[in-house]
Amino acid sequence: MNVLIWTIAVVTVLGLVLALVLYLVAQRFKVEEDPRIDEVEKAMPGANCGGCGFAGCRAFAEAAVKAPNLDNNYCPVGGNDTMAKVAAILGYEVKAKAPMVAVVRCNGNCEARPKVNEYDGYASCYVKSLLYTGDTGCSFGCLGCGDCVNACQFGALSMDPVTGLPVVDQEKCTACGACVKACPKRIIELRPKGPRGMRMYVSCVNKDKGPVAKKACANACIGCGICAKTCTHEAITVEGNVAYIDPAKCKLCRECEAMCPTGAIHGVNFPKPLDKEAIKERIKIRQQKAKEAANV
Amino acid sequence: MSKHTFSIGGVHPHDNKISRECALQQLPIAPAVYIGVSQHIGAPSVPCVAVGDKVKVGQVIAEPGGFVGAFIHSSVSGTVKSIAPRADLAGRSTTHIEIAVEGDEWLEGIDTSDTLVTAIPEDAKTIVEKIRLGGVVGLGGATFPTHVKLSPPPGSKCERVIINGCECEPYLTSDFRTLLEKGEQVVVGAALLQKAMGGVPCTIAIEENKPEAIAHIREVIAKLGYKDLDVMVMKMMYPQGGEKQLIDAVMHRQVGSGALPISVGAVVQNVATALAVYEAVQKNKPIIDNSVTVTGECFPKQANLIVRVGTPLQYIIDYLGGIPADAVKIISGGPMMGRAVANLQAATVKGTGALLFLTEKQTRRAPETNCIRCGKCADACPMGLEPFLLNKLSKAADWEACEANAAQDCIECGCCLYSCPAHIPLLDNIRVGKGFVLSAIRARAKK
């Protein structure tokens, strides 16, 4: 019996002494941390995707708390809602940003862009791009091994087995930019989602001269510049034989899409299908009027 | 007789030198040649002819774009048709000078006779200058401008010139035929390189699977009576012909990470380069042609051809009877380090050494399975790296760790991939890591 009492007593006293030591050490060496970091981290989506440019949500929270404002810290995944919460915690102002979405700027499907050789190596776009320009005549387009699909943490990208091109699920895409970095051909671009999802873009990055590009791919932008001449909003520039639509200036009139001879310009999520003839007629009348005005 | 080889790693693929009996043969000149301006490591050359100009064989058509650069000469006589981008072997668009061939008129001053000129110029500088003007680049595959290699940075001293006649890649026989048929020229070329480096000893390293070449070169050296020039018989081992491996095998010295061979006192030149040096210095003939092995088990008319630079591959293949029905892949270079040809309209460059035809069975990749940690890749790596680890780090995109584990030292010989029983694409992944590490190192150097 005695042994039992002694054992309990010794262990209890030992426990108390050690607890006291631990307490004193913890007091002496405690790390002061801004409690707001935890709060900000809780408000984050917790995907740790790195889309903000930091290693993860915690790293973003630390940077956001330290920074004097939120201009350079923005969580693309959480978007404006999350940033509003973060701003409320930190007492900062935050500018609302237009929600973005990944856009695949290549429409070289199997039909339009026939294969000229067969790649049988390791299925990775990056490895493939190190070896050569790809299995089609176009040296700028999608390589089709799905590095972007593997990079996406949100399941927003998938390869279309019919076209051999990646497809973005715009509901799932958080615009974290992982696919943009993963694509060795730099085909994927983050563009504003646009009002009700409506947006225009040039679905080609081929910088070859017109005939070369056209020979490699029927859907290529040939850099003819008709779109730039048609556009009344100065939203389109043609540089290096490929057109680019500035989303900030584009008014979604779809005139460029109607005029594009190769169908390289795409408009998505428009409620009505494109009426090419009506738009061409409209442009014709406008140009005639402009001519008459110039003559007068 | 003891045989030399490098100290770590290496594999022993079957040598398959099936075209070894095919004598060197001149390929007729193609109707049009396309001469690229980027045929060497370093800055692309700048074209110095205009469309419509008449050029002769051996005339300079592009000048070096920097110190590490090379002259490019017309390989044919005719009219410049265009200077425009054109897809190379890998489909990448580079500037090519198209020349429509008219006759075969050589520039004056080029000695086209067969007489052997054995008198070595006294001045080393003259030799190097002539090599520079001849547009000579390393023909072992890397195409590094030879005159740059022969101009060691101040403070370093060359102690031995090594002529690389290993030809350790399976299938390739062009160097072997060159040694056998143009042995005298190669030996004079070696003596010229020796002189250019200040009269240091010179070793011609030949692998034991070429006994005829070894005997012939020994005979030639005895006949010509050059001093400090010997033949070293090497054990058959891949990648013996790798620069760092060969220095290890011949001189028992290791070149450090990121260092040049000159740091251990070695200058390595290929057999074909030695021949080009002979022609440039003694005959005033710049590099306008090179020998190309066309081979493969499925290719009936194997040949060792002397091909003018800029000849379209399709022309070579058509000359030899077209692509065999069962060939599925054409490789430019050997099976270990060569690259698959994506574009048969592409033209040969100075460094094109072989065209290899492979069948479906030979090129089939076995499905990848899990790493079983057998360590064969680490045993095989001649650079002493750990391919399994680099593969993993590269896949995880951990470039700092890749650098810490010396991914930048990979010579891309493919021994790891060759030896892996799990068929893991080790080299493919390591190449990715190496690329990122090298660009990070370059970015740091710029800062």
Q: 3-class secondary structure for B414-435?
A: CHHHHHCCCCCCHHHHHHHHHH
For the record, the structure tokens of B257 come out as: 């990470």
B220 CB contacts (<8 Å, ≥6 apart)?
A: B183, B184, B187
Where does a domain end: B262, B282, B302? B282
Query: Would you say domain A102-188 falls under CATH 3.60.70.12?
Result: no
Whether residues B267 and B381 share a domain: the answer is no
pLDDT greater than 90 at residue A51: no
**Adjacent-strand bridge partners of B47:** B62
pLDDT greater than 70 at residue A108: yes
Residue B441 lies in a domain: yes
Indicate the DSSP class of residue B243.
H
Residue B129 lies in a domain: yes
Rounded Cα–Cα distance for residues B430 and B436 (Å): 10
B425 contacts on A by Cβ (under 8 Å) = 121-122, 127
Is B425 in contact with A122 (Cβ distance < 8 A)? yes
Residue B348, helix vs strand vs coil: coil
For the record, the structure tokens of B169 come out as: 């890649």
What local confidence, expressed as pLDDT, does residue B53 receive? 93
What local confidence, expressed as pLDDT, does residue A120 receive? 86
pLDDT confidence band for A77 (50 / 70 / 90): confident
Rounded Cα–Cα distance for residues B323 and B57 (Å): 30
CATH architecture of A35-90: Orthogonal Bundle (1.10)
For the record, the structure tokens of B39 come out as: 């045929």
Residue B268 lies in a domain: yes
What local confidence, expressed as pLDDT, does residue B1 receive? 45
Whether residues B263 and B411 share a domain: the answer is no
A127 contacts on B by Cβ (under 8 Å) = 425, 428-429, 431-432
- The rounded mean pLDDT for chain B is 92
- What's the CATH fold of domain A194-296? Alpha-Beta Plaits (3.30.70)
Is A131 in contact with B340 (Cβ distance < 8 A)? yes
First to last CA, chain B: 52
pLDDT greater than 90 at residue B205: yes
Is B339 in contact with A130 (Cβ distance < 8 A)? no
For the record, the structure tokens of B22 come out as: 């095919």
A50 contacts on B by Cβ (under 8 Å) = none
| Helix H or strand E encompassing B206 | strand B202-207
Residue B71 lies in a domain: no
Q: Is A14 exposed, middle or buried (0-12, 13-18, 19+ CB in 10 A)?
A: exposed
**A70 or B184, which is more confident?**
B184
For residues A133-148, give the mean pLDDT. 92
Residue B22 lies in a domain: no
Range of the domain at B162: 124-282
Dump pLDDT digits (tens) for A156-204.
999 999 999 999 999 999 888 999 999 999 999 999 998 888 999 999 9
Interface test with A, best of B432, B434, B438, B439 (most A CBs within 10 A): B432
- Please name the member of A121, A130, A139 whose beta carbon is closest to the beta carbon of B432: A130
pLDDT confidence band for A97 (50 / 70 / 90): confident
CA A29 centroid distance within chain? 44
Whether residues B273 and B389 share a domain: the answer is no
For residues A223-248, give the mean pLDDT. 93
| Helix H or strand E encompassing A10 | helix A2-28
E-assigned strand segments in B333-397: 339-340, 354-359
Is B428 in contact with A134 (Cβ distance < 8 A)? no
pLDDT confidence band for A34 (50 / 70 / 90): confident
pLDDT greater than 90 at residue B34: yes
What local confidence, expressed as pLDDT, does residue B67 receive? 85
Where does a domain end: B282, B314, B337? B282
Whether residues B128 and B276 share a domain: the answer is yes
Work out how many domains chain B is built from and give that number.
2
- Please name the member of A116, A127, A132 whose beta carbon is closest to the beta carbon of B428: A127
pLDDT confidence band for B97 (50 / 70 / 90): very high
Q: Which residue of A has its CA nearest to B339?
A: A131
Distance from CA of A117 to the nearest CA of B (A): 6
Pairing mode, strands B266-270 and A199-202: unpaired
Dump pLDDT digits (tens) for B370-412.
999 999 999 999 999 999 999 999 999 899 999 999 999 999 9
Where does a domain end: B282, B308, B330? B282
Work out the percent of chain B whose per-residue pLDDT is above 90: 81
What local confidence, expressed as pLDDT, does residue B302 receive? 93
Interface test with A, best of B86, B337, B428, B437 (most A CBs within 10 A): B428
What local confidence, expressed as pLDDT, does residue B274 receive? 95
Whether residues B271 and B128 share a domain: the answer is yes
Work out the percent of chain B whose per-residue pLDDT is above 70: 100
What local confidence, expressed as pLDDT, does residue A295 receive? 85
Complex ipTM more than 0.90, yes or no: no
Predicted TM-score (pTM) of this structure: 0.85
Is A127 in contact with B425 (Cβ distance < 8 A)? yes
Give CATH 1.10.15.40 domain extents, chain A: 35-90
pLDDT greater than 80 at residue B2: no
